[in-house]
Structure 1
């Protein structure tokens, strides 16, 4: 090992314990080594010569190259507020360092009394102890009897790795080198620092290394708070941590604790009253109570801790150059300080909402099943949940059978039915077990979009069963559905392809790559709609036409990658063909593997961050045991979108969450898809998404402070009975709580934005008195544009025509003004219109040849009484149609006004 001089010198400076020994050290050392040699030579029959002695010494580690400071410290993860979030524990790694001045005097004295009574007076080896041990060795052959000082034990543990020699010769060599190095070590280190290192090193049972770890494990307190009785319990453990474990063998520990206290009394380290009080202390009841608490909070790490662990292990290898084994050992035994990004308050909110059963309309269970059966002929068969599912599909004759249970009783009944069907009387069950998973499942990620910090994460509903298990937020890839429209279709259209939020596409039947696409709401088609509407109403056809006509699949694919989506497939061979995500279905989130919640949330966070992508991170720094920075985890960043593009997308996504969208639609089923997520008092923007049959349900959105992504569905992609919105309400609950008390500062603005009054049916400048008077579902509204991209031409889809109210034809020269009214017709581009494909816009088309056939009637209104010509409107029937003449003279009387209409 390398001797950590820097660490040692710092500790010496802290304690001001440099020794002022004289030149007699060398003489004393030589004398003691000589005496030691004589004792050991005699004990081994005089067979070791002085030449061998020099060889043993020359083979000893150089005192300047050894490190006796403790190793195997527990690493700790801290949350963003500086609290210890988790202590990473594995066998031999949960050491927590304390300095000498933090250790109670009683604890030091307890170890001195039982382990090395002359520790503060000898110089590394105890000559009296050596002669006593030599006598035992000569008579019994046992070389371990009382010869080791605390200094020697420190060297044995931290230099010779515990003294695990395989034969007597190696053991003698190690023992001699250990004692030689103990003499040299005491010339370099103070007694206090040696004791500090020793007490931080020793194994004290129950996977506790060092007195601080043991104090927490047995008593739930810091070592500085230990009582005399508690100090004696810990000191009693070190002789044999398994045999004297105060949890598993309290009686044996109590016997040795009493011996420790008695030794302390005999050596004058405690008084008689202190001794008597310590003996009557019911310390073992406290130990058992604390053990129940520790066991009740078993070390099953949170999903966030799992994410930190995986991220640190990966970065130690990829960024710091450690091997996989080195990274693992460093993480669990290196005493690292890991500063995580977790916000404990946000994490608590996320966990509470996902754990709240009342947030979910339905609750089922799936199981992982294992059954091993031995047959009469000695063969064995192993069954799993797959066999169980196949059996019930066949038994019920239902290929869409959902392997879901309502209760434990239902599970047991199903297992009994399966066993009855599969097992015979001669079969013997070797083992059977199952574990439950609550369904449907959910995952959630919350990020601070300004710096890439993941502040909270939840990888699934129900009790977490272990460490580094499936984390649905980071490990599961699911189909993103319409959430991908913004990333692949609309973002590149606005950012690169010259489109604006006002750019229109024709919503009508559409197919591409031999695949037919449809909208989510019904078979109805709207007609012309723009990108803003495409986002607010999540219009599939608008998104697909935007991708195919404006963006191209290749560009959309590259934008998705630039948004941080790493699961995309460029081209991949398989047994059944070639897979690729460079296909039109990418525009609606139909992917080979899907996306993770973490990456999808980070993608939207980059829009919230004005187009700057921040790699999601779970920690900011890793410091080694001495406080030196190993890794500074500043997120990688790159620009995904222009600032103006991000601003415009946010403006459009604000509309998805409101119920007062200014656009009108004929189909009542069409609505803004994020209304359930909206709450007052904070600026919000986001996008919903769902896959075919609602297998996957998403909402990803943001406030000025946080970006939050939620996924909801069954692990086994079961279909929901109906539409699902509970994930949206949970998103709302979480975001409302974590944004509570914050000022609504609004989303970032841009100086490179202009506005214009637009007609939504053409995407061009609105014509006053025309576009705003149209009866179709278009509206005139104010739209935002990146400077220089606002249209300069006026609407070319609305046409105002004066229509004769009598004939219903374009007004002619004989039609008086009072018989004419303006009518606004909508035109459809020839490239968009197809015979037989009806859309809502078709209702407002100008009839063919309408402008070529003006009204030719000569109109006169004759008063029935005076027979004089008057002005006024022609009579109409109850449906508003002009009334036709009914008599031979072509005169019909209006019974209410007495006005007759003459048709000539």
Structure 2
């Protein structure tokens, strides 16, 4: 009894001393302990994701991949696997597991090494947030105290949720949601038990136990996890055996990009960095929704790429990239084997839709190639015959007769699948560059944007960064200025050569039409539709350079980019495709200056909207909209003195916008009667041939020597601008000679705008086909949308030749629109009247050039 009392006393004293020691130690290190209250509002570093308007992932930015998940969105199987292997008594202990501590102590006594850390999930969370992973006594003590604090602040479910989302699991995957994507390319809810056990096995040592770096060790660890689940009663023996033997198909997966639009993604990334700073943008978990839809963006990219290939292929084949082997003097070869080809091609870049390939066999009119994907493809004559030799931008060689005229065995070439003709063909990376931009004219929302053939080859965004001369694309804005200064669609202009001595340069300036056809007196509507250069110059003279520049500034064009000489009437100004499309949006929406934008909204990682675009909009072109505008302007600023008006400013009258669009319409439809010799074609006639719509309006543009080609136009609810040219501004787009194979082989519909076209390259032949391809699909099923005639517009019947009033109702007359008060007041005299049917001069088509 004496010894028992002594033993009990020793235990009590030890307990008291231990408690005092623990309390003393706690207060000693308390100043060094972090506040765990921040865990209540912890914000995990999550990458920024960019989506299309319809929710397809475009890109992801940020080094750490993390997909934050609520606990109820994490499968029970994974939670059970984690608890079984990491902390089976998690819901029972207060953050420190006494049994685990004793087990670690016994292991230390027996082995003399700190092999087991006795860490609970709470302690691991404390280490991950606040401490280093070093195995030191003081770190373990701090870890225990912090864990106890955490248990006072957070619930068990909150701790487990943070733990599953915070921990690093290898290959830059943070949290179980990201791990599911990185290792299996799936959402966490779609994983099998075996895959869930594999992820649970990563928690012990992600760098050495992951199924990509160490598949065998990962397999062994998976079996351990499943065995612990079996011991804890979470699974039965059959489930254990099935999951332990399953082939989990693990490999590294990148972000699941559903819409590859890198130029758009790069623009949005830059805007987010401007808003939030680089670190915050990349780690704040922002989910950014673009204004583009996946359908329109894909259409724009496909149209731009196809159009560049059409241009490039009609100019000829520039030869293989390399000759890897060739015939020797005896006609024999030492061809590479398949292993050599695989190894070589694996190191070659690819630019969708182009694939690098090696020619392995050449027959009479067919070749066989071995592709980067390890496939042998046969390319028949349909995919080869286009490849006549490229000589220069203006010359092509003879058409090939056999495949050996084009390539030989051992040649490294590009191939691509032609969606329009449904076969594989020989190809090449286009030398020319392109850009495309489509806007909603009502509010400026970008509907599609393409900055070049491939972002991965060149990050220069030509849609927003390339200032190029616009050629005749400037003319609608010049004509709009003329309407402001008394000219009308029926005004008669003198389409005759101009010769002007320039005292400064000492030379004569002679602007020319292209082709050099001059029609004498011509109505202003026809002059724009047929892009008469000299008429544009005469209008500039009539309005005045200063007035023209002031008017162009209304469309958002920087006056500093506009030359103060008469060449501006022909498009010597340099603008970006985005600036040009924005200007045409003013014409399309009835005269309102909208601002382009690319972000519709920004959400946080939980889907809560943080910011939503609130653009100034152009009201619908009807009386109700005007009344609404007037009502809003008279209501005043009631709640917020700094509130902004949501309607875009009116920069030209709706009458001016209507008449300018009318002239652009006839640039596509033409007019008159062929049998009566009043018929004429506008420079954009191909759009009329390809699209059965009456609401199209557009304008071609070509600069000197065809260095820049454009087409801008309006259709339905869209405004779009296409540009094609060389990045090397000294190069001309040239001309092409007839390729009989292309003419015979291509479907007739593509002959109007595809690689079968011949002659000098210009806006109608080079840029317009991309616009047509895009608009034809984008507007499929979209109702025609033509603006109503404004109240300030009147319609009268005029004589086609003189623009004066007429009482005739035959082919010599037409109804024309005028601003009220500017309509003609005189009737055509018999002496002035001319019947084109009795004339010998046929109607002519005019292409435009500056």
Judging changes above 3 Å, is the alpha-carbon distance between structure 1 residues 336 and 739 closer, same or farther for their aligned structure 2 residues? Answer: same
Aligned to 2:293: 343
> Does 2:168 align with 1:203?
yes
What is the CA distance between 1:676 and its match in structure 2? 0.6
Q: 1:542 aligns with which of 507, 510, 535?
A: 535
Aligned to 1:597: 577
> Does 2:97 align with 1:126?
yes
Judging changes above 3 Å, is the alpha-carbon distance between structure 1 residues 649 and 446 closer, same or farther for their aligned structure 2 residues? Answer: same
Judging changes above 3 Å, is the alpha-carbon distance between structure 1 residues 298 and 96 closer, same or farther for their aligned structure 2 residues? Answer: closer
Aligned to 2:787: 747
Q: 1:75 aligns with which of 44, 48, 55?
A: 48
> Does 2:495 align with 1:527?
no
Cα distance in 2 for residues equivalent to 1:729 and 1:271:
65
Q: Is the 8 A contact 2:437 2:577 kept in 1?
A: yes
What is the CA distance between 1:183 and its match in structure 2? 1.4
Cα distance in 2 for residues equivalent to 1:110 and 1:667:
83
What SS does structure 2 have at the residue aligned with 1:248? Answer: coil
Q: Is the 8 A contact 2:36 2:153 kept in 1?
A: no
> Does 2:268 align with 1:307?
no
What is the CA distance between 1:309 and its match in structure 2? 4.2
> Does 2:583 align with 1:569?
no
Aligned to 1:88: 60
Q: Is the 8 A contact 1:454 1:618 kept in 2?
A: yes
> Does 2:446 align with 1:474?
no
What SS does structure 2 have at the residue aligned with 1:264? Answer: helix
Q: 2:778 aligns with which of 738, 753, 763?
A: 738
Q: Is the 8 A contact 1:74 1:87 kept in 2?
A: no
> Does 2:39 align with 1:63?
no
Judging changes above 3 Å, is the alpha-carbon distance between structure 1 residues 737 and 401 closer, same or farther for their aligned structure 2 residues? Answer: closer
Q: Is the 8 A contact 1:492 1:556 kept in 2?
A: yes
Cα distance in 1 for residues equivalent to 2:17 and 2:443:
66
What is the CA distance between 1:534 and its match in structure 2? 2.2
Aligned to 1:510: 498
Cα distance in 2 for residues equivalent to 1:782 and 1:589:
31
Cα distance in 2 for residues equivalent to 1:354 and 1:408:
31
Q: Is the 8 A contact 2:708 2:724 kept in 1?
A: yes
* 1:782-809 Cα shifts (integer Å, max 9, x gaps): 22122233233x26xx7655xxxxxxxx
Q: Is the 8 A contact 2:180 2:191 kept in 1?
A: yes
Q: Show structure 2 runs of 5+ residues with no match.
A: 1-13, 323-390, 413-426, 617-647, 736-758, 842-850
Cα distance in 1 for residues equivalent to 2:405 and 2:20:
75
Aligned to 1:623: 603
Judging changes above 3 Å, is the alpha-carbon distance between structure 1 residues 449 and 248 closer, same or farther for their aligned structure 2 residues? Answer: same
Cα distance in 1 for residues equivalent to 2:460 and 2:62:
20
RMSD: 4.3
Aligned to 1:456: 448
Judging changes above 3 Å, is the alpha-carbon distance between structure 1 residues 352 and 69 closer, same or farther for their aligned structure 2 residues? Answer: same
What SS does structure 2 have at the residue aligned with 1:541? Answer: helix
Judging changes above 3 Å, is the alpha-carbon distance between structure 1 residues 564 and 35 closer, same or farther for their aligned structure 2 residues? Answer: farther
Aligned to 2:733: 719
Q: Is the 8 A contact 1:562 1:640 kept in 2?
A: yes
Judging changes above 3 Å, is the alpha-carbon distance between structure 1 residues 715 and 243 closer, same or farther for their aligned structure 2 residues? Answer: same
* 1:375-424 Cα shifts (integer Å, max 9, x gaps): xxxxxxxxxxxxxxxxxxxxxxx9999999x99999999x99xxxxxxxx
Cα distance in 2 for residues equivalent to 1:609 and 1:34:
84
Aligned to 1:28: none
Q: Is the 8 A contact 2:513 2:534 kept in 1?
A: no
May I ask how many residue pairs the two structures share in their alignment? 672
* 1:598-636 Cα shifts (integer Å, max 9, x gaps): 221222122111111222222211122344443322234
What is the CA distance between 1:460 and its match in structure 2? 2.8
Q: Is the 8 A contact 1:70 1:198 kept in 2?
A: no
What is the CA distance between 1:502 and its match in structure 2? 2.4
* 1:461-496 Cα shifts (integer Å, max 9, x gaps): 3x5427x82233233332211011112x1122224x
Judging changes above 3 Å, is the alpha-carbon distance between structure 1 residues 357 and 603 closer, same or farther for their aligned structure 2 residues? Answer: closer
What is the CA distance between 1:539 and its match in structure 2? 1.0
What is the CA distance between 1:450 and its match in structure 2? 1.9
What SS does structure 2 have at the residue aligned with 1:657? Answer: helix
What SS does structure 2 have at the residue aligned with 1:700? Answer: strand
TM-score, normalization: structure 1?
A: 0.66
> Does 2:664 align with 1:653?
yes
* 1:143-188 Cα shifts (integer Å, max 9, x gaps): 784243222222333x32x6278xx9xx766654443232122223
Judging changes above 3 Å, is the alpha-carbon distance between structure 1 residues 730 and 649 closer, same or farther for their aligned structure 2 residues? Answer: same
Judging changes above 3 Å, is the alpha-carbon distance between structure 1 residues 558 and 198 closer, same or farther for their aligned structure 2 residues? Answer: farther
Judging changes above 3 Å, is the alpha-carbon distance between structure 1 residues 403 and 660 closer, same or farther for their aligned structure 2 residues? Answer: closer
The one of the two structures with greater contact order (alpha-carbon pairs below 8 A, sep at least 6) is 2
Aligned to 2:250: 287
Judging changes above 3 Å, is the alpha-carbon distance between structure 1 residues 648 and 825 closer, same or farther for their aligned structure 2 residues? Answer: closer
Q: Is the 8 A contact 2:529 2:683 kept in 1?
A: yes
Judging changes above 3 Å, is the alpha-carbon distance between structure 1 residues 454 and 399 closer, same or farther for their aligned structure 2 residues? Answer: closer
Q: 2:178 aligns with which of 213, 216, 219?
A: 213
Judging changes above 3 Å, is the alpha-carbon distance between structure 1 residues 210 and 565 closer, same or farther for their aligned structure 2 residues? Answer: farther
Q: Is the 8 A contact 2:50 2:289 kept in 1?
A: yes
What is the CA distance between 1:230 and its match in structure 2? 0.9
> Does 2:432 align with 1:465?
no
Cα distance in 2 for residues equivalent to 1:438 and 1:526:
39
Cα distance in 2 for residues equivalent to 1:532 and 1:663:
18
Judging changes above 3 Å, is the alpha-carbon distance between structure 1 residues 263 and 216 closer, same or farther for their aligned structure 2 residues? Answer: same
Q: Is the 8 A contact 1:77 1:86 kept in 2?
A: yes
What is the CA distance between 1:684 and its match in structure 2? 0.7
Cα distance in 1 for residues equivalent to 2:788 and 2:167:
57
* 1:759-783 Cα shifts (integer Å, max 9, x gaps): 45655x33558xx99xxxx964322
Q: Is the 8 A contact 1:359 1:730 kept in 2?
A: no
Q: Is the 8 A contact 2:56 2:259 kept in 1?
A: no
What SS does structure 2 have at the residue aligned with 1:360? Answer: helix
What is the CA distance between 1:277 and its match in structure 2? 1.6
Judging changes above 3 Å, is the alpha-carbon distance between structure 1 residues 556 and 164 closer, same or farther for their aligned structure 2 residues? Answer: farther
Q: Is the 8 A contact 2:469 2:703 kept in 1?
A: yes
Q: Is the 8 A contact 2:263 2:455 kept in 1?
A: no
Aligned to 1:490: 479
**Based on CA coordinates, which of the two structures has the bigger radius of gyration?**
1
Aligned to 1:113: 84
Cα distance in 2 for residues equivalent to 1:217 and 1:640:
52
Q: Show structure 1 runs of 5+ residues with no match.
A: 1-30, 40-48, 371-397, 417-434, 571-579, 802-821, 827-839, 841-904
Q: Is the 8 A contact 1:453 1:617 kept in 2?
A: yes
Aligned to 1:674: 684
Cα distance in 2 for residues equivalent to 1:662 and 1:253:
79
* 1:253-293 Cα shifts (integer Å, max 9, x gaps): 1121112122222333322222112112122xx224xx5xx
What SS does structure 2 have at the residue aligned with 1:243? Answer: helix
Q: Is the 8 A contact 1:608 1:704 kept in 2?
A: no
Cα distance in 2 for residues equivalent to 1:671 and 1:545:
22
> Does 2:784 align with 1:784?
no
What is the CA distance between 1:569 and its match in structure 2? 2.9
TM-score, normalization: structure 2?
A: 0.70
Q: Is the 8 A contact 1:657 1:676 kept in 2?
A: yes
What SS does structure 1 have at the residue aligned with 2:821? Answer: coil
Cα distance in 2 for residues equivalent to 1:108 and 1:666:
82
